[in-house]
Structure 1
Amino acid sequence: MRQGILVLAKDPSILLGLLRAADLIVILLVGIAAYEFRHDEWAMPTQYWVGIALACILTAQIFHFGGIYRYDNFRHLMRNMARLAPLWVAVGVGLASAAFFSKTSEDFSRLWAGTWFLGTYAGFFLIRIPVAVLFYVWRRRGYLARTTVIVGANDNARRLITHLERTQDHGLKVLGMFDDRVTRVPRGIEHVPLLGTVDDLMQYLRRHNVDQIIITLPWHAEERLMNLMAKLRTAPTDITLAPDHVAYRLIDRRVHQFAGLPMITVAERPLGGWSYFVKAIEDRVLAVIAMILFLPAMLVISLLIRLDSPGPALFRQPRYGFNNNIFNVYKFRTMYQGPPPGLAAPLPEGSAVAERAGIGGLAQATREDPRVTRIGRFLRRTSLDELPQIFNVLRGEMSMVGPRPHAIAHNEEFAKIIDQYMGRHRVKPGITGWAQINGLRGETDTPEKMERRVQADLYYIENWSIWLDMRILFRTLFVGFVNENAY
């Protein structure tokens, strides 16, 4: 019995796989129970079964890409449930959208849908309580720690041990090191002792419970490496080959097989597969909701702009979008169409305002910029001038959340001086983003300011999830609309 528990604890993927199946069973059972509660009978019509089946498909995909079934998320039950909530809402939005566009929403009881939706979330919580308790007990008893030995007392071993000590959640317990060159290697590295030769290791395995052997020999020592792996292949434990030193610069990169060879993925296409469709649905649904909510305000703003100064309420400006494709972004006009009052002519390129932009005369709006109208100053301060970009989202040119699009001149100038700048265009630009809610907005009069914004954008691209989008949109309501750097 204890051995079976150890096997299950050493490989949490088994338990997490069962949890995946349990979530789908909860969706099914709660759906049936909710129908019985609403209609006082168990025989559900076909459309209800189809709806439940679609919910299971969406849940399996969205929960997977949302990282719900990662072991680290089960260290804190409430954190797991908080992460699960927006993903379950996304499933609900997807189902509502499918019902709307297929014109079948009238075929479902509203009371059944509400009871099913809330009851399923409660079911998710209930089945996670014993899982969280089980992981807690296993952690306290040390079942989850994989006992490990290292073969090769060298610089690779030092890098590995240092990395493991810096990363506390790796779940490994290093018992010691083994190396045939016992007279030419240190007696230990970072508190990990040298226990003997490789022959001593074979005896050690008989007396101790070792889950994993990590070989840290350099990859260029091909003959020695192959002989060692052949010798250890009879050991009843997992054997892994530690990466060479360059791999430590590629932390968190995925390893996959291509034509039978192990490959490290240096960069992946963001929002591929199901993530692309989930993001597309999210953008369209949120854009429609935003349009309904903000349309009255947009009409009032348009009228105020026309009354404040001559010219159209909207203007279009070319910007770089996804994959460096140029599109026209919509914004409310916030500057005078002609010369500002009191100035005989428009500000020329290279003027004092342009020079303060610090990027070769490419003028950005600055504090007390005379080109900005009275209503425009308010719109820029509150970011309400960005509202027409909802049309860009509906047209598929932008997302609700993503890196902000920059003017073409600024884009091309900064691309020359900031590494990875063009990596921002690996996804669609957004109305709001991770950089904006962290105060990185407004005038970028130095390369350092733009570099911080670029790093924030790249972080968003590498860590995208529905949960992150919902978090950004929520924070935008409180910190994204008003900022001292916006003028």
Structure 2
Amino acid sequence: MGNENNGMVRSHEFELAIVYRITDLVIIFSTLVMLAWWRTGHVDSDFQQLAIGLGIVYLIVAESFTLYRSWRIASVKQQANTTLSVWLVTAAVILAINYFLKASDNYSRIVFAGWLVITPMLLIVWRIVFREILGLLRKTGYNTRKAIIIGVSETGLRLQKELTENADLGIVFKGFFDDRDALRLSDDTQYSGKVRPVYQALELAKRAKVDHVYIALPMHAKSRISSYLKQLSDTTCTTFIVPDFFTYNLIHSRWSSLGNIQTVSVFDSPFRGFTSVMVKRLQDIFLASVIITLISPLLLAVGLGVKLSSAGPVIFKQDRYGLDGKRIRVWKFRSMKVMENGGKVTQATQNDPRVTRFGAFIRRTSLDELPQFFNVLMGSMSIVGPRPHAVAHNEEYRHVVDRYMLRHKVKPGITGWAQINGCRGETDTLDKMERRIAYDLEYIQAWSLWMDVKIVFLTIFKGFVNKAAY
């Protein structure tokens, strides 16, 4: 029994969930106690009641986010993002309750603010440490699961590589199964390893000799997949279908339902659902409000410089594409003698005669972009996202750059992943635009709150002044 199961497998999921819940509550309570003791020398009843209330709300929110599910096959980033989202929602609920009850004066603001900031970091750090410990244990054979793959396909081979190279997942690969002859498999996939017939895989599943079965057959093998699923339904194995369309470069694909019909999105936005939209929007409002307050003297100075340096309005509003390709008006300090906003917009070039002397300075230092923080407050833009292009440029490049319009699956940003990687200024060659779009799509695929923070931080040092910004 010990050798067959290679350690305790299923029974530990419930136990680990209990460990997570208890540890989370201990961190939440102990962090508050230590901060309160450090600040005031005691923990009064108001803070005790607050801690109990926050702990209850946290557990309820955590359940709605399925925070205590198994994270064995999920990434550290996914687990960290979910933990942070749970904390942000919990904090928002507690802040709202205290606001309406007018109870915020009962607490030390320093303690409360420190608690809200430090606790989520500790919740994430302990999860990372715990994952590492579990990973080390799984590498020794403890708490592992055995997996087989039906279908020697490109997808199946990629899956095998992931399983064998990531032993900390605790999923032990036990072999390929396929009914195609060896010569055909070698021609199709260049695979020459041992492959057993599928009926043996089904027998192993029925005898509970394996825990995970991955079906990695092409989509046109519908009848075979249906047959295998019917037989596997008579087992206790966890069965996965890994369709071959996941080999394509998708943008935030996800399962969803249309009535009683299951669908999978191929190109989607990372900002679907209440949590991600709320986190992104709150981040934008907070940062834009703080930045506008800090740079208000600079805004006045630049505005005055534009007015005195040349005739015309201070603010130039240009039509650009926003979220889902809808037109928005983007604000900029005017830097040219002309204000092109029609079907033909010529990009600024080096020593462009249309650019005023003061305009050249504010373009080179990105000061002309500062009014866009008001676009962020109004909701048409975000602090971080793909830079918006003039409508005329969108219509030009959407026909020649592959997947160009997918950059509009998110709001355009004041700064972005492409900008901090050097993609600024004139795109006088197709290669430059393709490189910019590649970075934009990479941002959409990899988006997280931490990535936004990283981009904002790097923008301070390398995103403002650029020799390519004419």
**Taking structure 2 as the reference length, what is the TM-score of the superposition?**
0.77
Q: Does 1:163 align with 2:158?
A: yes
- Paired residues of 1:213 and 1:237 also in contact (CA < 8 A): yes
Compared CA separation, residues 223 and 449, structure 1 to 2 (3 A): closer
Residues 147-158 of structure 1: matches in 2 within 5 Å? Answer: 147-151=146-150, 156-158=151-153
Higher Cα radius of gyration: 1
Q: What secondary structure sits across from 2:284 in the alignment?
A: helix
Aligned equivalents of 1:295 and 1:191: distance in 2? 67
Equivalents in 2 of 1:58, 1:469: separation in Å?
Answer: 28
Does residue 388 (structure 1) correspond to residue 390 (structure 2)? The answer is: no
The alpha-carbon distance between structure 1 residues 486 and 201, as it changes in their structure 2 partners (threshold 3 A), is: closer
Q: Closer, same or farther in 2 for the Cα pair 1:218/1:19, shift >3 Å?
A: same
Cα 1:142/1:258, change in 2 over 3 Å? farther
- What residue in structure 2 maps to residue 343 of structure 1? none
AA partner of residue 159 (structure 2): L
Once the two structures are superposed, residues 225-283 of structure 1 have per-residue CA deviations (whole angstroms, 9 ceiling, x without a partner) of 5555444554453344442x444326673345666665333233431222111111111
Deviation at 1:438, TM superposition (A): 1.1
- The AA in structure 2 aligned to 1:210 is V
Q: Structure 1 residues 309 and 202, CA, compared in 2 at 3 Å: closer, same or farther?
A: closer
Q: Which residue type is aligned with residue 282 of structure 1?
A: Q
Q: How does 1:130-279 map to 2 (within 5 A)?
A: 131-143=130-142, 146-151=145-150, 156-167=151-162, 168-169=165-166, 171=169, 172-178=171-177, 190=191, 192-195=193-196, 198=199, 200-201=200-201, 209-216=209-216, 220=220, 225-243=225-243, 245-249=244-248, 253-256=253-256, 262-272=262-272, 273-279=274-280
Name the structure 2 match of 1:410: 393
Report the CA distance between 1:26 and its aligned residue: 2.2
Note the alpha carbon deviations across 1:23-46, whole angstroms, 9 max, x for none.
355224433554465263441169
Instruction: Provide the residue aligned with 1:44 in structure 2.
Output: 46
In structure 2, the gaps of 5 or more residues are none
Q: Deviations over 1:282-311 (max 9, x none)?
A: 111101110121111222222233333333
Alignment of structure 1 residues 72-111 onto 2, 5 Å: 106-111=105-110
Q: Offset of 1:98 from its aligned partner?
A: 5.8
Give the C-alpha shift of residue 123 in structure 1: 4.5
Give, in whole Å, the separation in 2 of the partners of 1:208 and 1:84. Answer: 33
Secondary structure, aligned partner of 2:295: helix
Shift in Å, 1:433: 1.0
**How has the CA–CA distance of structure 1 residues 36 and 50 changed in structure 2, closer, same or farther, with 3 Å as cutoff?**
same
Aligned residues: 456
1:330 Cα offset (Å): 1.5
Mapping for residues 303-382 of structure 1, pairs under 5 Å: 303-336=304-337, 362-382=345-365
Deviates more, 1:209-218 or 1:295-304: 209-218
**In 2, Cα distance between equivalents of 1:409 and 1:431:** 19
Q: Which letter maps to 2:42?
A: D
Change (3 A) 1:321 1:220: closer
Equivalent pair of 1:335/1:372 in contact (CA under 8 Å): yes
Maintained 8 Å contact 1:8/1:15: no
The 1:208–1:317 alpha-carbon spacing in structure 2 relative to 1, beyond 3 Å, is closer
Read off the aligned partner of 2:266 and give its amino acid letter: V
CA pair 133-404 structure 1, distance change in 2 beyond 3 A:
closer
Task: Tell me which amino acid in the other structure corresponds to 2:46.
Answer: M
Does residue 481 of structure 1 match 2:464? yes
> 2:214 is aligned with what amino acid?
I
Q: Are residues 259 and 410 of structure 1, via their aligned partners in 2, closer, same or farther at CA, if it must alter by over 3 Å?
A: closer
Aligned partner letter, 1:400: I
Q: Judge which range, 121-130 or 308-317, deviates more.
A: 121-130
- SS of corresponding position for 2:147: strand
Separation in 2, partners of 1:71, 1:214: 13
**Counterpart Cα distance in 2 of 1:95 and 1:235:** 43
Counterpart-to-counterpart distance in 2, 1:406 and 1:111: 43
Q: Deviations over 1:101-143 (max 9, x none)?
A: 8787545313322553466357437744761452243233134
**1:284 is matched with which residue?**
285
Decide whether the 8 Å contact of 1:255 with 1:264 is kept in 2. yes
Aligned identity (percent) is 35
Structure 1 residues 242, 95: closer, same or farther in 2, change over 3 A?
A: closer
- Look up the match of 2:424: 441
Alignment correspondent of 1:342: none
Given residue 291 of structure 2, which amino acid in structure 1 is its aligned partner?
A: A
In the other structure, the counterpart of 1:6 is 8
Aligned to 1:52, the other structure's residue is in SS state helix
Match of 1:56 among 46, 53, 58: 58
Cα 1:394–1:13, aligned 2, differ >3 Å: closer, same or farther? farther
Matched residues in 2 for 1:210 and 1:184: separation?
Answer: 27
Q: CA 1:480 to 1:54, structure 2 compared with 1: closer, same or farther past 3 Å?
A: farther
In terms of mean alpha carbon deviation, does 218-227 or 267-276 score higher?
Answer: 218-227
Q: Which structure 1 segments of 5+ residues have no match?
A: 339-346, 350-359
Give the match's secondary structure for 1:416: coil
Q: Residues 182 and 192 of structure 2 are in contact (CA less than 8 Å); yes or no, is this contact kept in structure 1?
A: no
CA contact (8 A) 1:437 1:472 kept: yes
- 2:110 maps to amino acid: L
Q: What's the offset of the Cα at 1:89?
A: 10
2-side partners of 1:95 and 1:333: how far apart?
A: 42
Q: 1:217 to 1:469 in 2, by over 3 A?
A: closer
Shift of 1:483: 1.6
Change (3 A) 1:74 1:232: closer
Q: CA deviation at 1:385?
A: 0.9
Structure 1 residue aligned with 2:433, among 447, 450, 453? Answer: 450
Q: Calculate the TM-score normalised by the size of structure 1.
A: 0.75
